Structure formats: C-alpha cells, structure tokens
Amino acid sequence: KAGVTQTPRYLIKTRGQQVTLSCSPISGHRSVSWYQQTPGQGLQFLFEYFSETQRNKGNFPGRFSGRQFSNSRSEMNVSTLELGDSALYLCASSSDMTAGELFFGEGSRLTVL
C-alpha cells in the first residue's frame, strides 16, 4: 500500500501570499488530519476531515482552512501568509481518527519570507 503523499514537499512564499497544500491518504482511509510542526511548539493540531466533513478544528486563525474531496484527498489553504506560518505541515490519515493510529506523510515545508 502506498503511504500518505504530500505535495509540494518544499515551497517558499512571501508575506501576504496564500498557499495550498495537498494530501493523498492511504487507500481506504477516510480520515485526514493536519498538523503544524515547529521546533518550539512541536506538533499542533489544525483540523480533521472525515467523509468530506470537518469534524474537529484546532486553535488556529481563520486564515487556515481545509477541505476534503470525495476520494478522501485533502487540501489545506493558508491565506495572507505571515512569517510565523513558516513550518512543516504534516498530514496524517487513518481509517477513522477515533481508531487511534495515525499514518503520517513526509510533510510540506513552508518558508515565508
């Protein structure tokens, strides 16, 4: 089975721009969750989608949004980028987040200049 795939792996943006990141879950997995990883804060939960519906949302501003498509692929969008948004964004999939184990992608490293 192919693992969780995230694209792009690296990207550089400037303040004020917006960015879209993509995540393809493991085949058959319906839950996709997103995390922001920074050296100082560790992993922080952004949101989780299940069957195209956002089930949970973390404590991030409205500039962070996401969606999930019928094939379970998910995208997250960050608008009006700030320097502090520079981070590794991780996507994880599971058959159902209530089931426990998360399978992570390699992440998309965003640098905001």
105 binds another protein (CB under 8 A): yes
53 binds another protein (CB under 8 A): no
Find the shortest distance in angstroms from Cβ 112 to another protein. 22
- Nearest residue to 88 (alpha-carbon basis) of 33, 44, 28: 44
SS3 at position 48: strand
- Omega of the bond prior to 8 within 30 degrees of 0, cis? yes
101 binds another protein (CB under 8 A): yes
Find the shortest distance in angstroms from Cβ 13 to another protein. 23
Q: CA 47 to CA 59: how far, in whole Å? A: 9
66 binds another protein (CB under 8 A): no
Q: For residues 35 and 60, is the Cβ–Cβ distance under 8 A?
A: no
98 binds another protein (CB under 8 A): yes
**Binding-site ranges for another protein (CB under 8 A):** 3-4, 33, 35, 40-45, 48, 56, 58, 90, 92, 97-98, 100-107
